[in-house]
Amino acid sequence: MFWTNDAPSYKHPALEVKQTPFSGRTYHSNCALTPGSCILDIATPYADTIYKHFRTEVCAECWRYDGGRRTFLTMRDLGENAGLFFCNDQCKASWLGREGEELVELLSGLETARRRKQQGKDKQTDAQAILKLEDIEQYIVGAWDVARRDTMRVKLVRQWKTLQLDDFEADIARYVLIALYHYARELDSQGLDAPGSCCSSSHVRFGMASWDDFSALQSGEQQQISKFPELVNDHVHIYQVLHSRFGTLLPPDCVSPTRKRLKELITIENVRKALSVDPGNSFGIWEVPITEESEGLGFGVYPIPSFFNHNCSPNVRKERDGRRLRFVTTRDVALGEEVCISYGHVEAMGLEQRRKELMDGWFFCCQCSQCMTEGGSTSPTRFVPVSLHICPRAHNVLSGLQRLAARCVPGT
């Protein structure tokens, strides 16, 4: 098969999402497939972020990275400090063609909330105290309830405009802003339909996905916050900045319908939803070719491939080509068989070690066919949604796991 970088996304008609008793929803094939069949080819994520540290070294469109050298980036930052650098005119035109000038302005606006001088954070004590809480959900809801009450206090919201985000928060806020902007674009495109029509091929999609697809992804909020309780503060902080900058009064000269929609979409529910699908579903954007030394440049959420479960003996491999992700069968797949990828390089390990790695890194007890065969029937546990994304804030703690994540679903 021949692919080009601007080819549209593709999903094999045989791919079907089915519910399983032990590992949630997952893809099955409703026909036999031969090795080398491309079953999913997704041109772009629904939302993504390149970490600030790499922003001036990575092409914003094709994610080319040359070990920190910048000479190939011939197109300077598109907006005022928007953090958009490109290889050439073609990459710039592709990015602008998909995203539009308005997103450049929004990203520039968000960057003004980035703290110039980063400060260290020491939340160890808080985190340890909070980890003892039995009911993490109550802790999360409590934090958001305070934010909801504060949103009603006009004076306070005005003060939020002066809030500054640290690099970690600003990078995540960028991903949330892009997701909500795409949602606004989608709603705009629906508004263009004749009254009464419920759907149309003209509706804007990103990587074949709508906001409904994006928000239907498994939430990793509880698992992420139970491991890193201090993240709740970062999340509320992100909401406060997005709300005060894009969710309140519009600039007097604003005529853009998308911008007006975006204002309505900056809600606690939507921001929290976008934040909750990142862990467990995002694919790390890693320097290629992947080696032990590869840098993690950012992450993207691709809702359609997020339904691949992990298998310790996968029948599908993932290939990244720029911002495209392709999924190709590695052996014969029988009619009705589950199609899975590997979330990490665990295949060569023994059962115990594999399960430990997946539990430590992704918080689930692996119930794949390989582990079930090796582990017998003593191990199955009921399916509990879990978190897979390795939080950059925890990079030092989890750098080994991040390396593992380099080869994983919600990892690369």
Ligand X SMILES: C[S@@+](CC[C@H](N)C(=O)[O-])C[C@H]1O[C@@H](n2cnc3c(N)ncnc32)[C@H](O)[C@@H]1O
Please tell me whether residue 307 binds ligand X under the rule CB under 6 A: yes
* Nearest C-alpha neighbor of 177 from the set 296, 262, 56, 53: 262
Of the CA atoms within 13 Å of residue 324, those in its CB half-sphere come to 18
Amino acid identity at 8: P
**231, 366, 398, 405: which one contacts ligand X (CB under 6 A)?**
366
Residue number, 211 or 362, with CB nearest to ligand X: 362
Residue number, 225 or 262, with CB nearest to ligand X: 225
Of the CA atoms within 13 Å of residue 235, those in its CB half-sphere come to 31
- In whole angstroms, the minimum distance from the beta carbon of 207 to ligand X comes to 15
Residue number, 406 or 409, with CB nearest to ligand X: 409
Please tell me whether residue 327 binds ligand X under the rule CB under 6 A: no
Please tell me whether residue 276 binds ligand X under the rule CB under 6 A: no
Query: What does the H/E/C string look like for 68-133?
Result: CECCCCCECCCCCCCCCCECCHHHHHHHHHHHCHHHHHHHHHHHCCECCCCCCCCCHHHHHHHHCC
The CA distance from 107 to 270, in Å, is 18
Please tell me whether residue 23 binds ligand X under the rule CB under 6 A: yes
SS3 157: helix
Residue number, 168 or 307, with CB nearest to ligand X: 307
* Nearest C-alpha neighbor of 217 from the set 65, 55, 386: 386
Query: Considering Cα of 194, then 196, then 199, then 204, what sign does the dihedral take?
Result: positive
Please tell me whether residue 184 binds ligand X under the rule CB under 6 A: no
The CA distance from 184 to 265, in Å, is 7
Among the candidate windows 102-110, 155-163, 195-203, 364-372, which touches ligand X by CB under 6 A? 364-372
Residue number, 165 or 366, with CB nearest to ligand X: 366
**236, 275, 341, 386: which one contacts ligand X (CB under 6 A)?**
386
Residue pair 281/393 in contact (Cβ under 8 Å)? The answer is no
Residue number, 46 or 86, with CB nearest to ligand X: 46
Among the candidate windows 23-31, 120-128, 162-170, 192-200, which touches ligand X by CB under 6 A? 23-31
Residue number, 23 or 240, with CB nearest to ligand X: 23
- In whole angstroms, the minimum distance from the beta carbon of 223 to ligand X comes to 8
Please tell me whether residue 42 binds ligand X under the rule CB under 6 A: no
- In whole angstroms, the minimum distance from the beta carbon of 247 to ligand X comes to 29
**Total of residues contacting ligand X (CB under 6 A):** 22
> Order of strands, edge to edge, in the sheet holding 282-286?
47-50, 296-301, 282-286
**14, 24, 319, 320: which one contacts ligand X (CB under 6 A)?**
24
Residue number, 280 or 284, with CB nearest to ligand X: 280
Structure-token pair, residue 78: 């598109």
**9, 15, 26, 182: which one contacts ligand X (CB under 6 A)?**
26
Please tell me whether residue 309 binds ligand X under the rule CB under 6 A: yes
Q: What are phi and psi of 118, to 5 degrees?
A: -75, 140
Positions 92 through 111 that interact with ligand X (CB under 6 A): none
For strand 296-301 and strand 15-20, is the pairing parallel, antiparallel, or unpaired? unpaired
Q: What are phi and psi of 114, to 5 degrees?
A: -80, 125
Which residues in this chain contact ligand X in the complex, by CB under 6 A?
A: 22-26, 218, 280-281, 306-307, 309-310, 362, 364, 366-368, 385-386, 388, 409-410
